[in-house]
Amino acid sequence: MASENPEVVVAPVVENGGAESSSSSSKGKEEHLESELLKKLEITEDAKEDNEEEEGEDGSKGETSTKKKKKKKNKSKKKTQQTDPPTIPVVKLFPSGEFPEGEIQQYKDDNLWRTTSEEKRELERLEKPIYNSVRQAAEVHRQVRKYVRSIVKPGMLMTDICETLEDTVRKLISENGLKAGIAFPTGCSLNWVAAHWTPNSGDKTVLQYDDVMKLDFGTHIDGHIVDCAFTVAFNPMFDPLLAASREATYTGIKEAGIDVRLCDIGAAIQEVMESYEVEINGKVFPVKSIRNLNGHSIGPYQIHAGKSVPIVKGGDQTKMEEGELYAIETFGSTGKGFVREDLECSHYMKNFDVGHVPLRLPRAKQLIATINNNFSTLAFCRRYLDRIGETKYLMALKNLCDAGIVQPYPPLCDVKGSYVSQLEHTILLRPTCKEVVSKGDDY
């Protein structure tokens, strides 16, 4: 379909004139139109020249105007930066929806062929949405721990540390019921307490300069959990203890892989861990692997999915398999290297495989409904129940534990007076390579 052209003018037909008069009048009109167009062109060219001269005379104005234009362009292209303290959800920092990969490590020996296998690459493409969810949870973990490490100092209440950390996780992960949020309570176990301690409401414990604190927290997207931990110690005399668990964990990650026996990983971890010693107040202590603590496989909405990764030799002969997610964690102790349950319980978790169990207490029925709606099979603590408005629930909680519906996880402690350090990463055994999803610039 032809478009209209405003420059074309149709000559009017003269009713009583001859051919010559009509042709001469049309010629005259065409000449008139041409002269008008030429005038317009001259005016526009003059205007352009005037503008250029003005810009030449006032160069600073021209420069500022171009700068303003450039600034405007930059603003539109500029990537959103995280605030301090962090408040912007990570989904807004990565508008493409693609989150950064963790550290990639190649498989060894008999599994080298996986790196270039087209079939395995295709399997990875199919699993990409799950990988992306895990990476999102890992990115939240990295940003939260970076912030927390910058603010933690002696004299802080343990409750304040935990609540600051958890509130930051909720903001950055865009907490949304069971679809995104905190995977388990923040462990901030001190000194000889190795794991599973978090302050209950009203706890007034204060972090001291000579404390060794294990900060262990988890994030999840759609039940895909990232479990990662580090140790904070202000006194440099504990540095060798922290180095022992760090190097032992990195050794465990290096040894892990598809078809690797879990016991072989444990033997390698123990060898590295127990090559360290630490001098505390003039006395030298050998660092020991805690023999009854393990790493573990992770499943959707299941922090302990069945397989255990020992940190001493002589463990399970079971092999790791393709597609599995593992928390590789090690604990180094100056004590006996063996933990027992002690102190007041704060951690609880609904048993993953529990069926319907009849309950007599109405309050227990109400509490399990609350747990199902808010936590499902993810771990929780008493502070979380307080936060959602539950009160006077201890008897009902004990009833759920006695019925086998909920499992209590009391603090795990070595001998009093000893010190324990921990380092933990989550790894993904992809078909073509091993991805340390929680790895960051810090550790």
Q: Is-contact 330 289, C-beta < 8 A?
A: yes
DSSP assignment of 62-83 equals HHHHHHHHHHHHHHHHPPPPPP
Q: Which of 141, 296, 347, 425 is catalytic?
A: 296
Q: What pLDDT was estimated at residue 233?
A: 98
| 296 among known catalytic residues | yes
Bridge partners for 38 per DSSP: none
Catalytic residue among 139, 166, 211, 329: 329
Q: Single out the residue of 337, 234, 322 nearest to residue 289, CA to CA.
A: 337
pLDDT band for position 28 (cuts 50, 70, 90): low
Tokens 């180095």 belong to residue: 243
Amino acid 114: pLDDT: 93
Q: Reply yes or no on whether 220 is catalytic.
A: no
What pLDDT digit, counting tens, does each position of 391-409 carry? 999 999 999 999 999 999 9
Q: For residue 410, is the peptide bond before it cis, meaning its omega torsion is within 30 degrees of 0?
A: no
d(CA 318, CA 311): 14
pTM over 0.85: no
Structure confidence at residue 3 as a pLDDT band (50, 70, 90) = very low
Catalytic residue among 160, 274, 304, 322, which?
304
Please say if the pLDDT value at position 64 is more than 50.
no
**Residue 289, C-beta contacts closer than 8 angstroms, at least 6 positions apart:** 248, 269, 270, 273, 274, 311, 312, 330, 331, 332, 333, 337
- Measured CA to CA in angstroms, residue 213 lies from 162, 189, 232, 366 at distances of 12, 6, 5, 36
The pLDDT-based confidence of 314 (bands split at 50, 70, 90) is: confident
Residue 419 has pLDDT above 50, yes or no: yes
pLDDT 10s digits, 153-180 = 999 999 999 999 999 999 999 999 999 9
Is position 347 annotated as part of the catalytic site?
Answer: no
31 is known as an active-site residue:
no
DSSP-assigned letters across all residues of 278-328: EEETTEEEE-EE-TT-EEEEEBTTBSS-S-EEESSSS---PBP-TT-EEEE
| Of 139, 216, 247, 435, catalytic | 216
Out of 139, 424, 425, 435, the active site residue is 424
Annotated catalytic residue: which of 139, 166, 227, 255? 227
- Quick one: pLDDT at residue 36? 62
Cα separation, 243 vs 223, whole angstroms: 32
